[in-house]
Amino acid sequence: MPDGSHVPDRAHGPDSSHGQDVDRRTPPGLLRTVDRALLVLLAFERNRSDWGVTEIAEEFGWDTSVAQRLLATLAGRGFLVSDPATRRYRIGPAAMRLGRLWDRSGTLELLARPVLDELCRRTGDHVLLCVPDNFHMRCVAAAEGRAGPLRYYPLVGELYPAHAGATSKSYFAFLPDERRHLLFRGRPMARFTERTVTDPDRLEQEFHQVRARGYAWTVGEYDTGVATVAVPFFLGREPYGSLSLGGPEERFPDGPEDRLDALRQAARLLESRLTTPPRGTGRAPRK
């Protein structure tokens, strides 16, 4: 079983090392200094929350003076904060401000819409894109399948509990074990159907199984008669949300296997759209 400190290789996601999931070459027509500054910001992750000047210089093959100026400039605008004792840099409040704007901007739905619509067309199932919201997953975009509506109200905005259904389990399974334990420890869990799992030990076993096989599959855990298969999608090393297919149980007579390729391909495309600018952007305007 995974130990929670390592996310196994994924067939549907980009390599997480900086040298392979970030193109260090500045594309033609773009400003190299700005591009370098953005590469510095992208170097900060949960598993690497602070950097020193020399480390940044070595990471990207720059002169120390270049790294120093880039870090100082980003700190001067609040995107980084320098620890005066260690002289190491961390993400600053300006980045938090942009993150909050992103959450409310609707850009995620805009970028994901073509992926969801194509996946819905291929499978005929309902497609849900969800992101974490405390002890739930919140649906931020959806495409309605051929079987008719699952709800008598919009799917977008609905909260799915962390312990019930593949939509949630596919995300929470890929959190580090300690982080997941903090979320679930001592928390009461509602039973929605006779198949809802509320025992913490059994849930933890299921999370490890989901993590090992790379997807979650449930039938009737949150809604009676509804089957769901879901995979996480990632930004770098971090699980960011889940992509799921669902519908009446009778639409899945042989389980989820015939949908997995399409679902994984969609998750990989979604990750690419969230990390790579769409074609045609970033070019200097014609005069």
Better-predicted residue by pLDDT, 144 or 1? 144
State the alpha helices, DSSP H only, in 16-126: 18-21, 32-42, 53-60, 64-76, 93-105, 107-123
Q: What is the predicted pLDDT for the residue at 278?
A: 56
Q: What are the tens digits of pLDDT across the range 8-35?
A: 444 343 333 333 345 567 778 889 899 9
Residue 2 has pLDDT above 60, yes or no: no
- For helices 32-42 and 64-76, the axis angle rounded to 10 degrees is 80
Q: Which residues contact 269 (CB under 8 A, 6 or more apart)?
A: 115
Angstrom distances, CA of residue 40 to CA of 9, 22, 73, 91: 25, 11, 11, 10
Q: What are the tens digits of pLDDT across the range 111-152?
A: 999 999 999 999 999 999 999 998 999 999 999 988 776 666
Rounded to whole angstroms, the Cα distance separating 198 from 155 reads: 24
Rounded to whole angstroms, the Cα distance separating 254 from 252 reads: 6
The model carries a pTM of: 0.74
Residue type at 236 in one-letter notation: G
Q: What is the predicted pLDDT for the residue at 63?
A: 93
Q: What are the tens digits of pLDDT across the range 197-253?
A: 999 999 999 999 999 999 999 999 999 999 999 999 998 788 999 999 999 999 999
Which band of pLDDT confidence, cut at 50, 70 and 90, is reported for residue 153? low
